[in-house]
Amino acid sequence: MIILDTGAVKALATGHKALNLLAGNMATTPGDQLRIPALSLMQAEADEEHLHRRVLAFSSVVVDPLDTMAAATVGTMIRDGYGSPDTCHALYCALPRAEFTGMSILLTEDERRYPPGVVTVDINSPGMLGFH
């Protein structure tokens, strides 16, 4: 599962080349989706009006809801000092879950926001941009 945090959502909305290519390519592969935590979309929209229109126009993008269990867990993470609501919801989405097999990858502009053990990829890293 590939998750976009607030910074990655903003980058996708502003035409980040690698993220736009990823979203376009995933649209042609059945079952592949980019997941955006609801609180990351909320924060990105709060920062820039109508951003959601550009992001949700990609058919490969889905919003991960803040359901009952997520709300309780994210609230605990915030209280325990793991970060802001949007950061904690992205972190929650990256944790292992029964409905998803395999490892989650969290795309971000700031890998330091997340604790060790979470697989993060800087959206501006050379590998993400197609350079090795």
pLDDT digits 0-9 by tens, 63-83: 999 999 999 999 999 999 999
Residue 90: what are its φ and ψ, rounded to 5°? -65, -40
pLDDT at 15: 95
pLDDT at 129: 64
Would you tell me the crossing angle of helices 17-27 and 6-13 to the nearest 10 degrees? 90
Q: Which pTM was predicted?
A: 0.92
pLDDT digits 0-9 by tens, 52-64: 999 999 999 999 9
Q: Which helix (H) or strand (E) holds 92?
A: helix 85-94
Check whether 90 has a pLDDT greater than 50. yes
Query: Which residue(s) pair with 106 in the sheet?
Result: 3, 120
Check whether 132 has a pLDDT greater than 70. no
Q: Which of 79, 69, 77 is nearest to 114 (CA)?
A: 77
Check whether 112 has a pLDDT greater than 60. yes
Mean pLDDT in the chain? 92
pLDDT at 5: 98
Alpha carbon separation from 86 to 22, 66, 75, 98 (Å, rounded): 22, 11, 11, 22
- 33, with CB counted inside 10 A (0-12, 13-18, 19+), is middle
Q: Residue 128's pLDDT band (boundaries 50, 70, 90)?
A: confident
Q: Which of 70, 93, 78 is nearest to 9 (CA)?
A: 93
Instruction: Please say whether the beta carbons of 95 and 88 come within 8 A.
Output: no
